[in-house]
Structure 1
Amino acid sequence: MGTEAKDSVPVINMQDFPGELIRACEEWGCFRIVNFDSSILSETLMSEMKEVVRSLLDLPMGIKKRNVDVIAGSGYMAPSSINPLYEALGLYDMTSSQAVNDFCSNLDATPHQRATILRYAKAVNKLMMDIVHKMGEGLGLIDISFEDWPCQFRINKYHFTPGTIGSPGVQLHTDSSFLTILQDDEIIGGLEVMKRGGTFEAVDPCPGTLLVNLGDIATMWSNGRFLNVKHRVMCKETGVRVSIASFLLGPSDALVEAPEELVDLEHPRLYVPFAYKDYRSLRVSEKLHTGEALHRLRIEL
């Protein structure tokens, strides 16, 4: 399966090496993946994880508040004046079994919940590595490595009522990560991505698939070639909407910079190298939610 109709989010078959993958990164900054390896991430595990997520998000507020930040914006987010319909729990770093166990202990997770989260975190990280290595191949890069990049997941809950229809569930934003793997709600939609021309495309539920969004770090790392997709969630129907977003962030020790192979006389380096945590702090502290922080790092040509 290749891309869908021109005005639909591209669909990428993970069992092939599709040329459509790079075009989707450039033109949309997002794509839906199908036929990914079920031995890595099965529909059964996805379903079990969704049940765990619903249980954790139903915990008393006092317990959820134990989920504190490790880096800026990585812990519990209560409904706010900006996003009153939204709350979330966060885990940094999901590739660390110690971090996963600490997250679970703070929330009084059961042994089954803990085991499910550990399995899911490992599976999603493996899938991330498959995706980014296919991206590297598509760009002609050799020996790129993302294995030591921290990852975060955020489990999201939206409280949609008849009185909130037409309201934003979460404000327009880009992700500060390299990429995001989203396991969306199976029934209640509302996610919209902004196309390059500024119009919005609805991304409807499609059980058994995953959506991949590219964030600010992908734009910088690709030397401006990949689009950091702007997206939002709108309330279009009543109910509780639950999703799981897993983020491949940026290197913890090295600077973020475009590989030398993507820089030449025709494509000069567009951004100064920077530390991911500094970039994340800049976005959070100055409320630069839609990629504006990247403009601060542009090199004047």
Structure 2
Amino acid sequence: MKVLETGNGARAMKGGGLDPQRVSFDKIPIIDLEPMFTGDEAARQKLAQELRKACTEVGFLYIKNHHVPKDVIDVTFGVAEAYFAEPDDVKMENHVSKSKNNRGYAALLEENTDPTARGDLHESYDIALDVPADDPDVKAGKVLYGPNQWPAGKPEFRKALETYHAEMLTLSGRLLHAFALALDLEETYFDQLVGKPLATLRVLHYPPQFGEIDDRQIGIGAHSDYECFTILAQKEGISALQVLNAAGEWIAADPIPGCFVVNVGDQMARWTNDLFASTVHRAVNRSGKERYSIPFFFGPNYDALIEVLPSCIDEAHPAKYPPITSGEYVNGRFMATFAHYAAQSEANADTAT
């Protein structure tokens, strides 16, 4: 039994290679999000109960009727594919090391989500909430805020990613209301904490892996996500995502047309005292094709306190986690995951002293 260290503690994984157990999709539930747009109170409460069940039992779900236009998704996949086809020297012009805020391009093997592994076999481009360099929070050194960097001469790339990011912010607001209802809170409970969210959009390219594969070097190693939740678009017809169930077995989370995958992140798990499961997952691209995916990581404001909700504590269930700010938690996880980020943070600290 392998043990994986995450930001919320150790998780156990059974051995047995890289092939997931392939089960019917109802093992990862499909939630119809339409009531959060047009439903009455009764419909929203029904959805909330379905979401609560999915978050407590699985930690992963599909959502349909999310109201994100298909053409926004398709265009973003298209510009991502074109961008990653560029020569390496062109992509390196916007390397993340040139950003103080982890924005831009990262090459193959530069990320290492599983500390026992040897690097992740994907390349990425990250943007987040675009905060000007003269913003008080940026000037105060809240390093996860700041401006995005963009490839020169590619306005279509910038437009597509900014449009997608805006759509994800809107969808995240609806989802956050559903999460509040699922926790028996007022629907708008979290709104005061997300006026300036740590909301990162990534486009990812995973080359295929053939033959015998070293499980220490796969598309993305076993990990849990850091924020409240993740909304993932997967290109249809290419399987790679695998989810770790409570028995330590890997379950396939294949693309479903018209659906996003949503998973609980560490911050939501901490808020709920692990009532909602921050589920470990990985990606192994053995499809024989290039894989592209678009995850959106949504978390609260930098200074928002992640403290166990009163409704998730009682005498039998004391708080498992000490309070921590959103920025402090995510920054710590980035330091452990991205070599360039850790080196840059150390350099910035040396400069400050």
Q: In 1, are the aligned partners of 2:30 and 2:63 still within 8 Å (CA)?
A: yes
Report whether the alignment pairs 1:205 with 2:255.
yes
CA distance in 1, matches of 2:104, 2:301: 20
2:125 counterpart residue number: 89
CA distance in 1, matches of 2:250, 2:26: 10
Q: Classify 1:183/1:87 alpha carbon distance in 2 versus 1 (closer, same or farther; 3 Å).
A: same
1:71 deviates by: 6.5
1:211-234 Cα offsets, whole Å, 9 max, x none, are 001111111011221101100111
Q: In 2, are the aligned partners of 1:166 and 1:236 still within 8 Å (CA)?
A: no
Match of 1:258 among 308, 326, 332: 308
TM-score (norm 1): 0.82
**Number of paired residues?**
280
Q: Classify 1:156/1:265 alpha carbon distance in 2 versus 1 (closer, same or farther; 3 Å).
A: same
- SS for the counterpart of 1:132 is helix
1:138 counterpart residue number: 182
CA distance in 1, matches of 2:85, 2:25: 40
CA distance in 1, matches of 2:244, 2:293: 19
Match of 2:106 among 38, 57, 77: 77
List gaps (5 residues or longer) in structure 1.
289-301
2:320 counterpart residue number: 270
TM-score (norm 2): 0.71
1:196 counterpart residue number: 246
1:31 deviates by: 0.3
Trace 1:180-259 onto structure 2 (pairs within 5 A).
Answer: 180-259=230-309
Higher alpha-carbon deviation: 12-21 or 177-186? 12-21
CA distance in 1, matches of 2:279, 2:327: 20
Report whether the alignment pairs 1:10 with 2:29.
yes
Report whether the alignment pairs 1:117 with 2:165.
no
Higher alpha-carbon deviation: 57-66 or 188-197? 57-66
Q: In 1, are the aligned partners of 2:195 and 2:301 still within 8 Å (CA)?
A: no
Q: In 2, are the aligned partners of 1:28 and 1:227 still within 8 Å (CA)?
A: yes
Q: In 1, are the aligned partners of 2:243 and 2:282 still within 8 Å (CA)?
A: yes
Q: In 1, are the aligned partners of 2:150 and 2:158 still within 8 Å (CA)?
A: no
1:119 deviates by: 1.6
2:50 counterpart residue number: 20
Report whether the alignment pairs 1:51 with 2:73.
no
List gaps (5 residues or longer) in structure 2.
1-22, 36-43, 111-117, 134-143, 339-353
- Give the greater-gyration-radius structure (CA): 2
Q: In 1, are the aligned partners of 2:75 and 2:160 still within 8 Å (CA)?
A: yes
2:199 counterpart residue number: 151
Give the RMSD, CA atoms, in angstroms.
Answer: 2.9
Paired residue type of 2:125: L
Q: In 1, are the aligned partners of 2:80 and 2:203 still within 8 Å (CA)?
A: yes
Higher alpha-carbon deviation: 85-94 or 181-190? 85-94
Higher alpha-carbon deviation: 19-28 or 58-67? 58-67
